Structure 1
Amino acid sequence: MSDLGPPAVVAGEKETLLAFLRYLREAIIRKVEGLPDDVARRPGVPSGTSPLGMLKHLSGAELVWLEWAFLGRDPFPDTSMEVAETDTVARCVAAYRAATVRADALWASLDDLDAVSVREDRTLRWILVHTVEELARHAGQLDILRELIDGDVGR
């Protein structure tokens, strides 16, 4: 697994944050790809977190903030880390990529970072920064899981 370096971007606030968001998404996928399905399903720490569980969680996390909290749409996206025996790396990566395509379409349609969400007392700016923070935190956790699994280290 080779990590890409952070994006070199000269842009406004929203474009810069979205560039880092996309970078983190790809880093997360790279940390899971190449693992055998049974290994990716297996918890790597006592809390029960597994690489596929983390990926499944992140498939809903960004959409919780954009669709449910900011736009007020139902239902609440699934953010559980529960992994089934039928979950595979390929299917979970595809689901995560589909969720990020959906999120990117929403980010593209939302311009006012000062707008306040429908369900939470949060601005779109707060949601974007929090999303970058959450993905960065989980990418670090995946770094540790991957190192415990096969010694592969991230950035």
Structure 2
Amino acid sequence: MAFLDYLREGVVAKAQGLEGDLARVPGVPSGTNLLGLVKHLTEAEMYWFEWVFDGAEEEVPDFGMELAAEDTEESVVAGYRAAVVRSNAIIARCGDLGQVAARATGKNGVPRSMRWILVHMIEETARHAGHADILREQADGAVGR
């Protein structure tokens, strides 16, 4: 969990501290922007840990990166951090990484273990942390952690 937390904080660090609306400005033609990445990762946390593993009855997140007019750096980052706290609580309650999730996923309804979900979330978060590195450099020239 420590490596996943390290990656999560790296994403947050890239999304914070930009002047004006730079964190909302797309850096690529697809429209991807820093706050949108954080919003997407928030939904990934909710999906994999709360909905799939824990079996929460909430609506399935859409994984979108679109921002609402009321979304701010503070609100998006706070939402992500809150999702991370909930995810970490679910992980901490899991006494066996081989434990199968409450819901199967994917086109074929594959049952996933906590171990699988953790590895997937490390991969997902690391990939988007790399995207965030590039977007931040495009936005204001900042490089490094």
TM over 0.5: yes
Residues paired across the two proteins, number = 138
* Residue 24 (structure 2) pairs with residue 41 (structure 1): yes
Counterpart of 1:110? 94
2:75 to 88, 91, 94: 91
| Identity across matched positions, percent | 56
Equivalent-residue separation in structure 1 for 2:82 and 2:102 (angstroms): 24
Q: What letter corresponds to residue 50 of structure 1 in structure 2?
A: N
The gaps in structure 1 that reach 5 residues or longer are 1-17
- 2:141 equivalent in structure 1: 151
Q: Does the 8 Å CA contact 1:41/1:87 hold for their aligned counterparts?
A: no
Report the Cα distance in structure 2 between the residues aligned to 1:150 and 1:135, rounded to whole angstroms.
22
Cα distance in 1 for residues equivalent to 2:61 and 2:87: 12
Equivalent residues in 2 for 1:1-155 (5 A)? 18-75=1-58, 76-120=60-104, 121-154=111-144
Give secondary structure in 2 for the equivalent of 1:101: helix
The C-alpha deviation readout for 1:5-42, integer Å capped at 9, x for no partner, is: xxxxxxxxxxxxx0001101111110011013511111
TM-score (norm 1): 0.83
Q: Contact 2:23 / 2:35 at 8 angstroms: preserved in 1?
A: yes
Task: Write the letter of the residue equivalent to 1:87.
Answer: D
**Whole-angstrom CA distance in 2 between matches of 1:154 and 1:138:** 15
Give the ranges of 4+ consecutive aligned residues of structure 1 lying more than 3 Å apart after TM superposition. none
Q: Which 10-residue stretch deviates more, 36-45 or 136-145?
A: 36-45
Alignment gaps of 5+ in structure 2: 105-110
- CA distance, structure 2, for counterparts of residue 66 and residue 85 of structure 1: 28
Structure 1 residues 122 and 37: alpha-carbon distance in aligned structure 2, compared to 1, 3 A threshold: farther
For normalisation by structure 2, the TM-score amounts to 0.89
Q: CA RMSD in A?
A: 1.4
Matched residue of 2:21: which SS?
helix
